Amino acid sequence: MSESSHSYLPGMSPRNVLQSTAALATLAAIVWVLGAVDQIEPIFWTTSILTVLFFVACYLFPGPMTSLVSMPTAFRVDRNLGVEALEMQSVTYASYHTNWFSNTTHAGFMVDGVAWYLLAWHFTGPVGVGLLLAWQVYQARSYREKAFTWGLVVTWGAIAALAYVLTSRLGSREAVELAMYSLVAMGLWRFAGHIAEPIPPDVAGNKNFAPMKDVDLRPKIIITIFLGYVAEFAAGLPFRLLNFWVYSVLVKVFHFSPEMTIDLADIESQRESIHREGWAGGRSTAYLSDEK
């Protein structure tokens, strides 16, 4: 396989190390700004309300939302369950993240997971945490990959346990504040990572991934930026991208060989087709073009 076919997570090089360093510096800047503003609670709750509205819009108005976030139906719960979802989300993740800067900014999904469980322990107690874990077992089983399923169950169990320990050690109020800071910071960090990526299909009238210099976002730049942050905040929800991020790392870094779903070569092949032809170019994403 050629080096270009590995471009969604290319090999280590001085340039890639520099990109990752820049991404970490970006996170440090975000954390500093949030601390300086010192208004994390209203920022978090406002973002949370907007995220609910975002999901409603993705369900009810997929056509208009396509021109703003490219693939709104991918946020639906049913698009995060089952073998087809695992394939689609893995391929789209590879398509969106093609350099070390964006991949580094998306390396914090475990932080989101712990943060959501910190909030679950505080607001719902053991009953809510148990229901959330039950959902994640159900979601993991839907992928029909035995080793991957067990890996996810153990991962989410460890995340829930860590959140409990942190809540016990820090105290409930401090744990909630830490969770809010973490979720907002991770959402902003992931959003910043896309500055270095091509514009996805349909956002600026483009049919495939296009360099930012080749598209005109001026008519809707404000709302695109705004929704971009909300979408990345939503990406950290427990049922969204952590599972698919883990899967991508397993197949890319640890050479996990799936039994029921696509392997690394297929992910890479579809990613390349999508960058040339848009979502219709990928076997696992073609239906996204029909759901506008």
Check if the beta carbon of residue 118 is closer than 8 Å to that of residue 163: yes
| Distance from C-alpha of 184 to C-alpha of 105, rounded to nearest angstrom | 13
CA 86 to chain CA centroid, nearest Å: 13
Q: Map out the domains of the chain as residue ranges.
A: 4-291
**180 Cβ partners below 8 Å, 6+ apart?**
40, 41, 43, 44, 115
* b (16+ CB within 10 A) / e for 146-171: eebbebbbebbeebbeebbebbeeee
Which residues sit opposite 199 in a β-bridge?
210
244-277 pLDDT, tens digit per residue, is: 877 777 777 777 777 767 777 888 888 888 888 8
DSSP letter, residue 12: P
Which residues sit opposite 210 in a β-bridge?
199
- Residue 178's CB is within 10 A of a number of other CB atoms, namely 17
pLDDT at 208: 81
Stretches where the chain sits below pLDDT 50 are 1-8
Name the residue among 115, 120, 162, 113 with its Cα closest to residue 139: 113
pLDDT at 280: 86
pLDDT at 263: 73
| Distance from C-alpha of 242 to C-alpha of 112, rounded to nearest angstrom | 8
pLDDT at 1: 34
| Distance from C-alpha of 282 to C-alpha of 267, rounded to nearest angstrom | 9
Helix axis angle for 82-96 and 264-277, nearest 10°, is 60
pLDDT at 289: 66
pLDDT at 265: 80
Residue 199 structure tokens: 């514009």
41-91 pLDDT, tens digit per residue, is: 999 999 999 999 999 999 999 888 888 888 888 889 988 999 888 888 888
Check if the beta carbon of residue 102 is closer than 8 Å to that of residue 260: no
**146 Cβ partners below 8 Å, 6+ apart?**
259
Distances (CA, A) of 49 to 14, 35, 116, 123: 41, 22, 15, 16
